Structure 1
Amino acid sequence: MKLSQLHHLIAVAEAGTVRQAAKMLFLSQSSVTKSLQQLEESLGVELLHRGSHGVTPTAAGRALIARAKVIEAELREARNDIDSIMGAGSGEIKISMSPSVAMALAPQAIIEFKRTRPKISFHLQEGVYPDALHTVRTGEFDFAICLMPERPRDEGLSCVLLLPDRLTPAVRVKHPLTQSRKTLVDLVHADWVIYRRGPSGRDVFEQTFIAAGLEPPTSTIECTSFACALTMVERSDYITLVPKQLFSDRAARWGIVPIAMDAALPEWNIAVFYRSDHELSPVCQAFLQELQNVATNMLVHSRT
């Protein structure tokens, strides 16, 4: 069993076809096929179901892929450790983040971090709570930075609160609903745009109304693009539900504003997650500190 074979297996499983995986790996399709065949022969088991529309992992394949991702993560951390010891100032950090975090907190932290560590590379991906946590548990990503409703009871993950936050309905500038304070009852029959990415994405919207003893609005548009949802609100009379943190420094860029509410909506705080049973590399430790510094500055700025 070779590391390159495990890497090819992960790529094929994620791409869904050998052809697409080979393209992403900058290899020929035949070389990837041969690599997988040799891996299966060495283990004496079929790792992929091969069909006319692509491939899917077998039970044995899924088990090996899960382990392979942990191996790749450990190797990445080992390279980071060696780079730190050698004073190379290089390394890689992989982060999954919720869309609103990707528009303010995370970019600022990365920009500040790169000022003093320009050789550090980042791999960034959007993901929502709690779906994004799986990639941290498996070691595929170093961090998940998410909005969360409450601190999870998960012994496998450490959680550091970065910013306290709450949800708020938001509309375009000069929308009629901005003329006076509102309650959730006032918004039940409005037209909503809901950002939804992942199986749990709609829960934020539904639980906000259920917690207030209300049936969630039925007049909605579901959107898997956060930017598209905000644009639709900016250019129409739709409403959306966003964290207040979004307005910390972006209000002037997006033509949307929060609605003044009579009662505060549920807390959805911003937190960073990483594996509890795993010692962070010096590079990741330094970035975690940078996240906390930027979050503290944002909190101070929001109060002034």
Structure 2
Amino acid sequence: MIDMDPEARAASLSFRQLKLFESVGRLNSVRRASEECNLSQPAVTQALAKLELQIGAVLLERRASGSYLNELGEIFHRRATRLFEQFEQALITLGVPGAPEAAPLIAKRISRSQARSLIAIVESGSFAEAAQALALSQASLQRAARDLEGNLKKSIYYRTAAGVVVTPAGVEFGRRIKLATQEIEWGIHEIEAAQGSAASQIAIGAMPFGGSVLLASVLDEFVRANPKVDVKIVNESASEMLKRLRDGEVDFVIGLVQETKGEDLTNEALARTPYMVVARRGHPLARKGGVDVEDLLRYDWVVGTPGASRRACFERLFQGRDAPKTSIATSALPIVRHLLSRSDRLALMTTYELMHESELVSLPFGPIEPAPAIGVTMRSDWLPTKLHQSFIDLLRRHTADATTPTMLRRAG
């Protein structure tokens, strides 16, 4: 088993094994855990031995007085505990009968196959495609779906003319269950990091403009410090990036801090980075002592895509008057750079982004408020691994060390 990658090893662990491990680690006793889980002591001992073999690490110290978590066990127990806590919260949010009191009991009855089936159905959009993705028969998939509904005592599927689909509440439940299962994979990564025996992976979302610039400025240093790391970078629009973050497809997002709705996401602003009006070097407006709105109206603009903070700032700038011509909307910095450097077009760029430009300059136009901040967006209940934390700490140091006077560290 230890030759499998962490994701495969995590998927090979049953929720029953994880619950037994959680109980033993919490109670420091195989006997008491067997009583709590209604299993024999030999069955618990056998399940734990198999779990340690699948993970590739000894997690418990067996003594005459009981079974105690070692250093690696503490790491993995924290993740297993979070798995079931998130299961319970997902059940409460779903509104299962008897919640919140019944949530712990229902959480123990959810099987790996039931969770895997729901996640596949949600992601693929149909039973047929989910069955194909899991290499299962539709009959097996439907049986897992019925078993899950039986455990929940709540309908999460409904029939339409096109077939059986997941209810909106069921989709949200599936999203939360998927996020919870990631805890186990991260736990295995943390164990391997503590053993110094394997590479690890982080998935970073980089928002257009500032996110890519900040990421590029720290990647070399991070990879040098962590030569075994595998960094996956995802670039999308702000709205798509936040969706990917909520779905667990990226671990955190860097870029201009966005307004978020709900309590599931949290922002850490690292530095204020006001917008400036920018143009190519030698632009006619760059030679003026001062530029006003009437001057800006005479030129074509490259604007951000709808929904982006850059687009909202542009619209505020010309609010109450006819806006200038905007033939091109893009969030791709290389395209903006190319268009401005070869024409008299104008665009908005943050002071942080402008720090890394050689062909573009800011125009002598007054301060544009409110000034956005560049930072990190994370899931509110996320527990970063040491590798995640080291990257975020590097971002903090990098922005704090910036010397340009317009890069101001956030107070507090």
TM-score range, shorter chain: 0.7 to 0.9
State the 1:197 CA deviation.
6.3
Give the equivalent residue in structure 1 for 2:355.
248
Change (3 A) 1:87 1:127: same
Deviation at 1:104?
2.4
Verify the 8 A CA contact 1:156 1:275 in the aligned structure 2: yes
1:224 aligns with 330
Asked which structure has the greater RCO (Cα within 8 Å, sep 6+), the reply is 1
Residue pair 2:257, 2:269 contacting (<8 A) in 1 also: no
Q: Distance in 1 between matches of 2:191 and 2:338?
A: 45
Aligned residues of 2:119 and 2:175 also touching (Cα < 8 A): no
Decide which of 361, 368, 392 is 1:265's aligned counterpart: 368
Equivalence for 1:25: none
Q: Judging changes above 3 Å, is the alpha-carbon distance between structure 1 residues 102 and 278 closer, same or farther for their aligned structure 2 residues?
A: closer
Larger displacement relative to structure 2 (98-107 or 214-223): 214-223
Counterpart of 1:285 in structure 2 is 389
Q: What is the deviation of 1:300?
A: 2.0
Deviation at 1:72, TM superposition (A): 4.7
Structure 1 counterpart of 2:303 = 194
Identity %: 23
Segments of structure 2 that go 5 or more residues without pairing to the other structure are 1-111, 147-155, 408-412
Give the unaligned 5+ runs of structure 1.
23-28
Matched residue count: 282
* TM-score where L is the length of structure 2: 0.58
1:40–1:46 contact (8 Å) kept in structure 2: no
Match of 2:276 among 139, 151, 168: 168
Contact map agreement 2:303 2:328 (CA 8 A) in 1: yes
User: Which structure has the bigger radius of gyration?
Assistant: 2
Contact 1:143 1:273 in 2 (8 A): yes
Decide whether aligned partners of structure 1 residues 109 and 102 sit closer, same or farther in structure 2, where only a CA change above 3 A counts. same
CA contact (8 A) 1:189 1:217 kept: no
8 Å Cα contact 2:210-2:350 kept in structure 1: no
* Superposed CA offset, 1:172-215 (max 9, x none): 221111111212332134211113165776323213333xxx43
Secondary structure of the equivalent of 2:184? helix
Cα separation, 1, equivalents of 2:137 and 2:217: 41
Give the superposed CA RMSD.
3.7
The DSSP-based 3-state class of the residue aligned with 1:295 is: helix
Query: Cα deviations across residues 145-177 of structure 1 (Å, max 9, x unaligned)?
Result: 121377x68643343222220111111221111
| Cα shift readout 1:260-302 (whole Å, capped 9, x = no counterpart) | 21x10120110112233232211111111111122223x1266
Q: Distance in 1 between matches of 2:137 and 2:215?
A: 38
Provide the residue aligned with 2:39 in structure 1. Answer: none
1:235 alignment counterpart: 342
Q: Distance in 2 between the 1:115 and 1:133 partners?
A: 29
